[in-house]
Structure 1
Amino acid sequence: MSSTRAPADIDDPIGYFIEDLTYHGKTSRTRESYERVLRQFEVFLDDASAPETATHRDCMAFIHSLRGDVADSTVATYAAYLHRFYGYMTEVGAFDGNPMTLVVEEMDETIDTDPARRDISIPAMRTFVSDITHPLHRALVVTLLKTGMRVGECCNLDLRDIAIDDDELNEAYDIGDRAVLSDRPNSAYVTPNATVGEELNGEIRSASNKRKRSTVIPVDDELARVLKAWLAIRPDCSSSANPLFVGTTERWGSRLDPQAVRHIVERYAREAGWYRTGGGAAENVTPHYFRHFFTTHLRDRTGDRGVVKYLRGDVADDVIDTYTHDWGNQVRETYEANIYSLLE
């Protein structure tokens, strides 16, 4: 494997990185996208520096040079590619550090957009959802599409994390009994405290939530409807944590793990022609693609990057505090006015 070569043997760090992307199974389209960006960065450095000796100021200058010439999402993608390149080369011992870390932390742009990613319209996604009739599967897919949660965060939801203003549901289930949801009906709470192998709400978790701060996400009428349909058939669960999503075939009544959700999504994506064996992230629709879909379409509809960042759970403390304090007005109103419809 190329990653076993001594760092001193790497004459072309970019070529080394692209070669390792091949070994990691990345598609040719993905590799070409990375190489195009990294070679452009190399040309920008010219004789003043080289990728292995570039500083964070060199990286900032490159990112700044892009602004005004390309869309903000493209600037964000270039930053993401550089960040991944430096992170990988640091990990294999070829570079001493990642100069992009500080740059990415200071950037306003969301670094989730990938120009090579499959582009699915809202009407096409609506048709995709309409073909999912199993209540559990539909609830999982709509939850991911409507909230932008990571798959692990979705799996970690307990009944107490979902507040829905529905008398039948509230009589049948102990839902939404977190204090933070007491004055926020029709909401989902995502905790930052779930960690693989550690206990939360009386249950050892098999997935981690990657948020540094808690997030309250609105639940619109469509999501409430599919969750109610799912809860009507949800098997009894032995866990005192009362997970929202549990198995209906294997591991009956046990909390679903991310791998199970990925298999469910893959099944429907294959049927839609949106997934093939050997396809990369740019081609295949996965639970993570749904987070990308949420980010792209909601940001385009709202024009409010701050609200979308808050909902995704990837904003700085000062920004998240602003939206936490004004949750009822800015977050919910913006979300409800702009969230796309998925049910026909």
Structure 2
Amino acid sequence: MSRSAAVDPADPVGYFIEDLTYHGKTERTRESYERVLRRFEAFLPERTSPKTATHRDCMAFVHSLRGDVAESTVATYAAYLHRFYGYMTEVGAFDGNPMTLVMEEMDETVDKDPARRDIPIPAMREFVRGITHPLHRAIVCTLLKTGMRVGELCNLDIRDLTITDPEIEALYELGTRPALADRPNSLYVTPDASVGEELNGEVRTASNKRKRATVIPVDDELASVLKRWLAIRPDTLSPAEPLFVGTAEGWGERIEPQSVRHIVEQYARETGWYRTGGGAGENVTPHYFRHFFTTHLRDRTGDRGVVKYLRGDVADDVIDTYTHNWGDQVREAYEASVYRLLDGRSPRV
């Protein structure tokens, strides 16, 4: 988006909501934004407006939400405010985005590389074998085999997956993404999913943090696990055809991050890998699986570039190099090195 001539609306929130209408956002999306932004507006100190608010005002607002709403909702509200400021800055109505620093600080509240529980592959293999529910095993295996974030997993649609299997291809129209046309047995992770935004006909409740699209190989083991899940996956009313949907509460509805965290916690507790009050260094969570993937695949491949590409870490030279040489540099390295979760065979067997 290019910067337009400066504007100075008397009601910045109203201006932003009106522009959302022009951009084709749904009424539900507009109402969600306006509810959050008006709440922020009312929170600000006297004689402070959204235009003059500082990063400390924004930080205080985000802090005021904690204890009142769920942490996932806090993140959603912060994302709405960040997007509002980003847009108003881009059109010249505001001088800057005070939420940028706040969002960076929120990301830093989770230690990026704490001292974590050291789980060897054989122990993780036993953990996975103890998960027999097809949905739960598919979720855990996908996280462990791809290193994707929990929100990215929740945002996967049927169109983001290719599996070369006649039985599954007869049930679903898989892999309709153009980026998957010549990449069989793969998962596509989009950078375009944002909380409150419509994607593929459905308003999303989780965001993908990737700045660039990533195509992740699906090995035979993960393909088998996903096939078992897809064989019993409930029908859904969503036009987006989510890959993972509920089988208990929220039957047929897109799985949400909190549900994934609950599933992982359930099995981790049973294994002795999760304790109430335990920190990131002790508890096994979906984010721990990303750490596990990074550590073991990096050690096995010896190629930090491939691992960075698969994780979706932002670096244009990394992304471009491995995108253009995907078959040779990504799939071959991945399939030669990725650990087994259901048996002890070497990756190439």
Does the pair score TM above 0.5? yes
Gaps of 5+ in 1: 1-23, 25-89, 92-96, 102-110
- 1:208-246 per-residue CA deviation (whole Å, 9 max, x = no partner) reads 000000000000001000000001111000001000000
- 1:156-179 per-residue CA deviation (whole Å, 9 max, x = no partner) reads 000000001111111111111111
Letter in 2 for 1:281: A
1:301-312 matches, cutoff 5 A: 301-312=300-311
- Alpha carbons 1:112, 1:292 under 8 Å: kept: no
Q: What's the % identity of the aligned pairs?
A: 75
Determine if the alignment matches structure 1 residue 332 to structure 2 residue 331. Answer: yes
**How far apart in 2 are the matches of 1:202 and 1:177?**
15
Any idea what SS the aligned residue of 1:189 has? strand
**How far apart in 2 are the matches of 1:296 and 1:209?**
22
- Alpha carbons 2:205, 2:256 under 8 Å: kept: yes
**How far apart in 2 are the matches of 1:232 and 1:319?**
36
Q: CA deviation at 1:323?
A: 0.5
Aligned partner of 1:47 in structure 2 is: none
Determine if the alignment matches structure 1 residue 290 to structure 2 residue 306. Answer: no
Determine if the alignment matches structure 1 residue 320 to structure 2 residue 319. Answer: yes
Spell out structure 1 runs of 4+ moving beyond 2 A. Answer: 111-114
- Alpha carbons 1:215, 1:310 under 8 Å: kept: yes
Determine if the alignment matches structure 1 residue 113 to structure 2 residue 113. Answer: yes
**How far apart in 2 are the matches of 1:312 and 1:175?**
23
**How far apart in 1 are the matches of 2:170 and 2:234?**
17
- Alpha carbons 1:113, 1:296 under 8 Å: kept: no
Q: CA deviation at 1:112?
A: 4.4
**How far apart in 1 are the matches of 2:112 and 2:171?**
39
Determine if the alignment matches structure 1 residue 127 to structure 2 residue 126. Answer: yes
1:125-274 matches, cutoff 5 A: 125-274=124-273
Aligned partner of 1:276 in structure 2 is: 275
Any idea what SS the aligned residue of 2:289 has? helix
- 1:79-100 per-residue CA deviation (whole Å, 9 max, x = no partner) reads xxxxxxxxxxx76xxxxx99xx
**How far apart in 1 are the matches of 2:112 and 2:307?**
12
- 1:252-294 per-residue CA deviation (whole Å, 9 max, x = no partner) reads 0000000000000000000000001000111000000000000
- Alpha carbons 2:148, 2:290 under 8 Å: kept: yes
Letter in 1 for 2:225: V
Any idea what SS the aligned residue of 1:245 has? coil
Q: CA deviation at 1:315?
A: 3.1
- Alpha carbons 1:211, 1:313 under 8 Å: kept: yes
Letter in 2 for 1:180: A
**How far apart in 2 are the matches of 1:112 and 1:165?**
36
TM-score normalised by the chain length of structure 1: 0.68
Letter in 2 for 1:275: Y
1:30-45 matches, cutoff 5 A: none
- Alpha carbons 1:162, 1:188 under 8 Å: kept: yes
Letter in 2 for 1:327: W
Q: CA deviation at 1:314?
A: 0.4
Any idea what SS the aligned residue of 2:188 has? strand
- Alpha carbons 1:203, 1:240 under 8 Å: kept: yes
**How far apart in 2 are the matches of 1:113 and 1:329?**
30
Aligned pairs, number: 239
Any idea what SS the aligned residue of 1:133 has? coil
Determine if the alignment matches structure 1 residue 342 to structure 2 residue 337. Answer: no
- Alpha carbons 1:151, 1:287 under 8 Å: kept: yes
Q: CA deviation at 1:331?
A: 0.4
- Alpha carbons 1:152, 1:208 under 8 Å: kept: yes
Any idea what SS the aligned residue of 1:217 has? strand
**How far apart in 1 are the matches of 2:232 and 2:192?**
29
Letter in 1 for 2:137: R
**How far apart in 2 are the matches of 1:171 and 1:232?**
11
Letter in 1 for 2:117: R
**How far apart in 2 are the matches of 1:112 and 1:138?**
26
**How far apart in 1 are the matches of 2:318 and 2:129?**
36
Q: CA deviation at 1:113?
A: 3.4
**How far apart in 1 are the matches of 2:162 and 2:249?**
28
Gaps of 5+ in 2: 1-65, 67-100, 344-349
**How far apart in 2 are the matches of 1:171 and 1:112?**
42
- Alpha carbons 2:308, 2:318 under 8 Å: kept: no
Q: Which moved more, 1:252-261 or 1:167-176?
A: 167-176
**How far apart in 2 are the matches of 1:315 and 1:128?**
31
Any idea what SS the aligned residue of 1:165 has? coil
